[in-house]
Structure 1
């Protein structure tokens, strides 16, 4: 059994007529100061087929990730519609700016009462997408960490070109309070991986590890202990080899598992078993909710 630990089902749609997904595509509307497509692209007609293909590829469970509060109702609607889909709540750093009020830890805590919400995020730091406000991103990140600590739900961390500040914030926070979490779609340095493992976080890898030029990242995957590893698609982005040029989807997480198996010189079945076990340990609310279904 496979679990896609991180995707954006509200952004999946039928892109067969316009080929691969790129930010510059005239067919895709993007939100201002955001690295995400507009949720208006969400298409219920095609979502059934994505879920079905996932099941056919042994992807039994999926976590769909919230990136902005405006999208939370549709994220929860999807999670409520499908028994095998769970959700998170959070505000992505690209959605943090001086035009929006910062969410508080208490607001996040309140939202986690929904039975299908099993994680907090994605949150974190992004110094790649312009413009950005370091202070606002930091304040938002800390609020999410506080909520994670209070609820015992894992924090889902996005970090891009912000390694040192990410290490700083998470390490300091861990000294003051205990929380669990993961670095999602890991594509950074071995130093960041080591520091995150040192404070007890998990690391989730995506289709990036299958790319031909991702040799440094592939070496880091070999370094990460299997019992601290998760797998994801981050769909609709980052389709793995051999699906490059297509819209990514949860079914393709099997290619990530196969690449991990190749890099660690073990079987795909071992990767499936361990990453599924890791997910259940980290997202403990998931295990409880599955037993109630």
Structure 2
């Protein structure tokens, strides 16, 4: 079984076809999906999708693009929403200096708030980091010094130094379809050398469809394509990558029942 550890099933791209989408994921060997929150104020839709589908779990949090609009949401509110049985992660939160859609101080403030929520709940923080390696590493080191928290660097496309900082601090690293792109040689080299027990896979659907679907709408079924490239890069079988990344997922996302999604899933 594979797990799509990060997708956005609440996005309008999937309206009206989630049943078919999830059926295709099962056919591709993807047994579980985590639909990730980007607006806490729109969390109700995310929660409803997770409640409707047994194989779908969710997170609660504010994307850095929305950090300005949702500035000041207290830790206590995030923690309270995270008590729902289908909420298995905090975030996504982080720093995005590529688009800079929110003030950088608001992004950093939001990230630190979400870190505290991860500490209090024990749920993993889903970290978004783009073109902000130095500041992200500094915040992670500072916050980890205040008290440990579980986390992963999602849709990893940063440099080797941030990857190794994450590993040093106990974080996991998740790879998306970017890993399959022709110009991602440096990223594939990072994926090759990371510890196997820290690797996850994801789609970030509807974005970043892997080769050969690049440029089209992404969906959870395509997790298998990224996993196949990760297996090739690391010199192991697709079955080994599926087993390893799924084991890693359950170790990090402790709130997900250990046998969730196993029944009736085609082995990848």
TM-score (norm 2): 0.94
Match of 1:198 among 168, 174, 179: 168
Say yes or no: does 1:69 pair with 2:40.
yes
1:104 offset after TM fit, Å? 1.4
- Matched-pair contact (CA < 8 Å) for 2:250–2:258: no
1:151 offset after TM fit, Å? 0.7
Specify the alignment match of 1:54 in structure 2. Answer: 25
SS in 1 for 2:4: strand
Q: Give the Cα separation in 1 of the matches to 2:184 and 2:61.
A: 29
* CA separation of 1:208 and 1:179: change in aligned 2, threshold 3 A: same
- Matched-pair contact (CA < 8 Å) for 1:181–1:201: yes
Q: Over residues 19-59 of structure 1, what are the superposed CA-to-partner deviations in whole Å (9 max), with x where a residue is unaligned? A: xxxxxxxxxxxxxxxxxxxxxxx51x211111000011110
Q: Give the Cα separation in 1 of the matches to 2:185 and 2:70.
A: 39
SS in 1 for 2:247: helix
Q: Over residues 58-111 of structure 1, what are the superposed CA-to-partner deviations in whole Å (9 max), with x where a residue is unaligned? A: 1000000000023211111110010000000000000011x5442111111111
Q: Over residues 222-246 of structure 1, what are the superposed CA-to-partner deviations in whole Å (9 max), with x where a residue is unaligned? A: 1111110000000000000011122
Specify the alignment match of 2:10 in structure 1. Answer: 10
Q: Give the Cα separation in 1 of the matches to 2:50 and 2:256.
A: 12
Could you list the runs of 5+ residues in structure 2 that have no partner in the other structure?
A: 264-268
Say yes or no: does 1:233 pair with 2:233.
no
Alignment of 1:167-178 (within 5 A): 167-178=137-148
Q: Give the Cα separation in 1 of the matches to 2:39 and 2:6.
A: 15
Could you list the runs of 5+ residues in structure 1 that have no partner in the other structure?
A: 14-41
- Matched-pair contact (CA < 8 Å) for 2:127–2:154: yes
* CA separation of 1:56 and 1:258: change in aligned 2, threshold 3 A: same
Alignment of 1:1-293 (within 5 A): 1-11=1-11, 13=13, 43=15, 45-97=16-68, 99-287=69-257, 290=260
- Matched-pair contact (CA < 8 Å) for 2:8–2:35: yes
Q: Over residues 160-215 of structure 1, what are the superposed CA-to-partner deviations in whole Å (9 max), with x where a residue is unaligned? A: 11111111111111111111110000001000000000000000000001000111
* CA separation of 1:152 and 1:289: change in aligned 2, threshold 3 A: farther
- Matched-pair contact (CA < 8 Å) for 2:180–2:210: yes
Q: Give the Cα separation in 2 of the matches to 1:125 and 1:245.
A: 25
Q: Give the Cα separation in 1 of the matches to 2:191 and 2:144.
A: 24
* CA separation of 1:124 and 1:101: change in aligned 2, threshold 3 A: closer
Q: Give the Cα separation in 2 of the matches to 1:210 and 1:101.
A: 35
| Runs (4+) off by over 3 Å | 288-291
- Matched-pair contact (CA < 8 Å) for 1:116–1:289: no
Aligned length: 262
TM-score (norm 1): 0.87
60-69 or 3-12: bigger deviation: 3-12
Q: Give the Cα separation in 2 of the matches to 1:131 and 1:57.
A: 35
SS in 1 for 2:90: strand
